[in-house]
Structure 1
Amino acid sequence: MKLATWNVNSLKVRLPHLLDWLQQSQADVVCLQETKTEDANFPRAEIEAAGYQAAFAGQKTYNGVAILSRQPLQDVQVGIPGLADEQKRVLAVTVGTTRIIDLYVPNGQSVDSDKYQYKLKWLEALADWLKAELAQYPELAVLGDFNIAPEDRDVYDPAAWAGQVLCSESERAHFRALLGLGLKDGFRLFEQPEKSYSWWDYRQGAFRRNMGLRIDHILLSPALARRCTACTVDTAPRKLERPSDHAPVIAEIG
């Protein structure tokens, strides 16, 4: 099974890229973030023509998540249970025996902002929920844009980003707490090239200069981690005209 996550930064704009990528990658399950598409406008027909079923939760202009799967989607859950949040950031489905959770974690804006405090509370609620999900689903995969670079090696310039949003110690502590539940960072199960990132700003020629951060992750339960044979970042879509600022991350489960 090939699992993927991709923040497309507007499904309407990036739909041609996505459809081409689905054909090329042959991914079995794809978690999308920042679809920025109301449910009534979701391109269901195009996705189904590409061979995928879809579950989605969207809103106009901001946020939005979707899960595409070649197999039937069951037990669809929108949002984190018990967390009052109108923003469409979380979607969970069951595919076969595997529970798939798609996340678009709040950005946090800046460490001295209310949005940062919202992010930390959101992450705390997430951990509580994932603990329960892990107990219920031995095969659990959590994919998405976490808006957290877990370690300095996940940042092109750690000194410049030290203490900043996406790289602050509090955010990283919350990420470690997720790993503390037993989840494994799929990318770090393998030797990886140095300076491997999944997001590059549109400004300053950041992609060309590889000024990036690794903030898109695939976390796997122990049962899935043992069967994971590869986890990579596909930078090819980032090289296209009018690309998303994120690249897909792919995990292969044997």
Structure 2
Amino acid sequence: MKIVTYNLNGIRARMPRLVEYLDERKPDVLCLQEIKCADESIPIEDVRGAGYEGHWHGQKGFNGVAVLTPAGRPAKLRRVRLPGADEEDLHSRYIEAEVGDVVVASLYLPNGNPVGTEKFGYKLAWLERLRLHALDLLAEERPVVLAGDWNVIPTDEDVFSPRAMAHDALMQPESRAAFRRILHQGWTDAIRARFPEGPVWTFWDYTAGCFQRDAGFRIDHLLLSPSAADRLLDAGVDKDYRGREKASDHAPTWVEIED
């Protein structure tokens, strides 16, 4: 089973790239983030034309997540909201589904910039809610994959220039510590399990020729529960899709587990 996380940076703008990816790579599960589109405006017929169906949790102009699977292998929706949110938190950042015996979550963490504002506090509070829910998922003792744009650069090895990003919310000590608290519950970082050392980027900014200079960093993560990690076969980043015309600034990042 190949499970992919892909921040589209706008589904309507990137629909040709999405259909292209579905046609060429045929993932068993595709977790999308930043679809930036209300549910009623999603170009679902284009997705169906590529042979996929999905569960959507959209939001007009911002955020938005989804889980897509082949039409012959439907996913069962479990939730479209991370537990613990107050009534004023209307951000569409989390969706969870079952695909066979595997629980898959597509998540889009808050960016948190600028540091020192309520946006950074919201990021840390969201990570704490995710930590508590991750504990509940582990208690189910089944294969779980937490896939998405985490907006956290875990270590200095995960960024082209720690100095350039030193003041960014993505790599503040508090952000990193919150990520580690989740990881240390017993989750496996699939990319680092496959590539223990060295640069593995999943994001390249549009500015300053970052992709051409390979000045990227790693913020798209797939965390595996112990029973999912036991079935780990491979993991990687489909970097070439970042270099295509009108591409997202993220590359599809994937894990393959035994079905």
Question: Would you say same fold, with TM above 0.5?
Answer: yes
Do residues 90 (structure 1) and 78 (structure 2) align? no
Task: For 1:10-29, list aligned pairs within 5 A.
Answer: 10-29=10-29
- TM-score, with length taken from structure 1: 0.97
Q: 1:162 aligns with which of 166, 174, 187?
A: 166
In the alignment, which residue of structure 2 is the partner of 1:247? 251
Return the offset for 1:163: 4.4
Alignment RMSD (CA, Å):
1.2
Whole-Å Cα distance in 2 between the matches of residues 169 and 103 of structure 1? Answer: 21
Structure 1 unaligned spans of 5+: none
In the alignment, which residue of structure 2 is the partner of 1:100? 104
Whole-Å Cα distance in 1 between the matches of residues 158 and 52 of structure 2? Answer: 32
Q: Give the fraction of aligned pairs with identical amino acids, expressed as a percent.
A: 39
In the alignment, which residue of structure 1 is the partner of 2:81? 79
Contact 1:98–1:137 under 8 Å retained in 2: no
Contact 1:8–1:34 under 8 Å retained in 2: yes
Amino acid paired to 1:221? S
SS at match of 2:171: coil
In the alignment, which residue of structure 1 is the partner of 2:60? 60
In the alignment, which residue of structure 1 is the partner of 2:6? 6
Return the offset for 1:25: 0.9
Do residues 197 (structure 1) and 198 (structure 2) align? no
Cα-to-partner distance string for 1:23-58 (whole Å, 9 max, x where unaligned): 111110000000001100112222122121200011
Whole-Å Cα distance in 1 between the matches of residues 123 and 20 of structure 2? Answer: 33
How many residues matched? 254
Do residues 117 (structure 1) and 121 (structure 2) align? yes
SS at match of 1:54: strand
Q: Which runs of at least 4 in structure 1 moved beyond 6 Å after TM superposition?
A: none
Do residues 149 (structure 1) and 150 (structure 2) align? no
SS at match of 2:213: coil
Q: 2:144 aligns with which of 121, 131, 140?
A: 140
Return the offset for 1:162: 2.5
Cα-to-partner distance string for 1:126-184 (whole Å, 9 max, x where unaligned): 10011111212511000000000101100100123224310111100011011111111
SS at match of 1:37: coil
Amino acid paired to 1:230? D
Contact 1:163–1:169 under 8 Å retained in 2: no
Whole-Å Cα distance in 2 between the matches of residues 48 and 135 of structure 1? Answer: 35
Return the offset for 1:235: 0.9
In the alignment, which residue of structure 2 is the partner of 1:183? 187
Whole-Å Cα distance in 2 between the matches of residues 67 and 164 of structure 1? Answer: 29
- TM-score, with length taken from structure 2: 0.95
Whole-Å Cα distance in 2 between the matches of residues 138 and 44 of structure 1? Answer: 31
Whole-Å Cα distance in 1 between the matches of residues 8 and 252 of structure 2? Answer: 9
Contact 1:55–1:76 under 8 Å retained in 2: no
**Alpha-carbon distance change, 221 to 198 in structure 1, aligned in 2, over 3 angstroms:** same
Whole-Å Cα distance in 1 between the matches of residues 247 and 202 of structure 2? Answer: 13
SS at match of 1:161: coil
